[in-house]
Amino acid sequence: MSEWWRGSVTYQVYPRSFQDSDGDGIGDLPGITARLPYLAQLGVEAVWLSPIFKSPMADMGYDVSDYIDIDPLFGTLDDFDTFVQSAHDLGLRVIIDQVISHSSDQHPFFAASRKSRDGDKADWYVWADAKADGSPPNNWISVFGGSAWEWDSRRRQYYLHNFLPSQPDLNFHNPQVQDWALSVLRFWLDRGVDGFRLDTVNYYFHDDKLRSNGPMPSTDNRPPVNPYEMQDHEFSKSRPENLGWLERMRQLLDEYPDRTMVGEVGDAPHRNVQIMADYTRPGRLHMAYSFDMLGPDFTAAHFRGKIEGFFAGAPDGWPMWAFSNHDVIRHVTRWAAHGGEDAVARQAAAMLLSFEGSICLYQAEELGQVETDILFEELTDPPGIRFWPDYKGRDGCRTPMVWDATAQGGFTTGTPWLPVKPPQLARNAAAQIGVAGSVLEFYRRMLAFRRATPALRQDRTRFFEVPEPILAFARGDALACVFNLSAAAVTVGVTGLLLPDAPQQAATLVGGRLELGPNGFAFLAPQGGLSVHP
């Protein structure tokens, strides 16, 4: 079997916001299919679709009511088949989200489970009796705030929901649930998908003794916005039984040639590296999608520490790195204090696409897109509504793709489900295509450079000992990558030559000294060796 996924670049499409084909203001499969040539020309190798299955949309599709059908908002199974065939015709692989740790409360399985403690689906979800005083069975907290337990008057028990109350957790201690989940994966594999992005991959199993979690150590006297961050979630997720289940899923994928499985893996800092290592051992996940670079940190020590930490802790594993996704503030906005928006956008592309591992780009980051300022009355995201204004939710990074400068950015002829605002409209794709120096053309160039440079796909990383704000590393013996992570000019000593056809920004090499302007970067080839030094 080939390992096409190793070192690949995947583009995440948020279906509601990519392209609307029917004027209802919501993106759909025919719209995405029509835009596939844009992605092929961009130079990515795979497309990841966030959930498109039938859903009440309480959490924008991450609450599934039918796992083997398409929600009418997005189209039909025939539309999906056309999308897959069109992607394959363009040389693009297809990865789809699978949200099997929990379902919607509108799923027929949950309706049957809550109906009776004796039915055939009674043990398909996580149910527990109340304590004698009527309180929940333990202290577990929902990611979206409040108790992770919801009282159900029909069964007169609590059920577990790690997210919204309308997203009850499936009980993977029940072998029948595992068998059913494998049948879902097989359904989509048989339709030709090339792999899965497994949502909340470490939430499948809970502690069967329902032990309470302990506190998360903190030096901050002020509580966080979300109390979920105050708990060490030792018993509510990342349980050891999960590893056997990952192996069952991997055995299924191995029945099909050239498929891949990437898990959304995240836990507390003191156990995250071990979780990554355990989940990516041979026979489990092909890749671990990391949260480590989705925050505000923008230092050489941070990026170096996360890359070295992963490969030291999981030498047999393989990471997938990302700077943005549908759950976090866009990175150009997060890192705005470190340089001009376009300069930071280009530097972020050069840096991310030179990291060892596989890469995931989030839609519109190739445009240098910035976070949308969403008003309270425009919100759709449940945690944003709950924790406003200290946390504004995820809608700001989910606004529609902007294709041109028309009123709705070419996304829809109707009213978009989230607003298209002037700062986003200014970064439309049509205004950047073919324009030298635009962020979009830089992404195209950098993606082509990665494809044409074997060292960036397969060689190991060796970091050079240089001070902040310089991040410098070699990929094998053939390439050095040097980045100035600041808005001030810096100079470092180098042994090597600027690669004449490689992307660079504000970089000049004079007499063995590399001068890097604000957010400057360069790629170097050996000349009598390869080194970067103060």
Q: What is the rounded distance in angstroms from the CA atom of residue 514 to the CA atom of residue 492?
A: 5
Annotation says 255 is catalytic: yes
SS3 sequence, 467-526?
CCCEEEEEECCCEEEEEECCCCCEEEEEECEECCCCCCEEEEEECCEEEEEEEEEEEEEC
CA torsion sign for 209, 174, 101, 9 is positive
**Which of the following is catalytic: 199, 278, 366, 381?**
199
Kindly provide the b/e burial profile for residues 475-496, where b requires at least 16 CB atoms within 10 angstroms of the residue's own CB: bbebbbbbbbbbeeebebebeb
72: buried, middle or exposed (CB in 10 Å: 19+, 13-18, 0-12)? exposed
Annotation says 199 is catalytic: yes
* Sequence-ordered alpha helix ranges (H) in 60-151: 77-89, 108-115
CA angle centred on 29, ends 324 and 383, rounded to 5°: 45
Q: What is the rounded distance in angstroms from the CA atom of residue 128 to the CA atom of residue 90?
A: 50
DSSP 170: B
Is the previous residue joined to 223 through a cis bond, with omega within 30 degrees of 0?
A: no
**Nearest residue to 25 (alpha-carbon basis) of 306, 295, 416:** 416
CA 119 to mean position of chain CA atoms: 37
**Strand pairing category for 513-525 and 479-484:** antiparallel
Q: Which two tokens stand for residue 315?
A: 């030498």
**Which of the following is catalytic: 255, 377, 390, 465?**
255
User: Phi and psi of 267, rounded to 5°?
Assistant: -150, -175
Q: What is the rounded distance in angstroms from the CA atom of residue 353 to the CA atom of residue 332?
A: 16
Q: What is the rounded distance in angstroms from the CA atom of residue 179 to the CA atom of residue 186?
A: 11
Q: Catalytic residue numbers? A: 199, 255
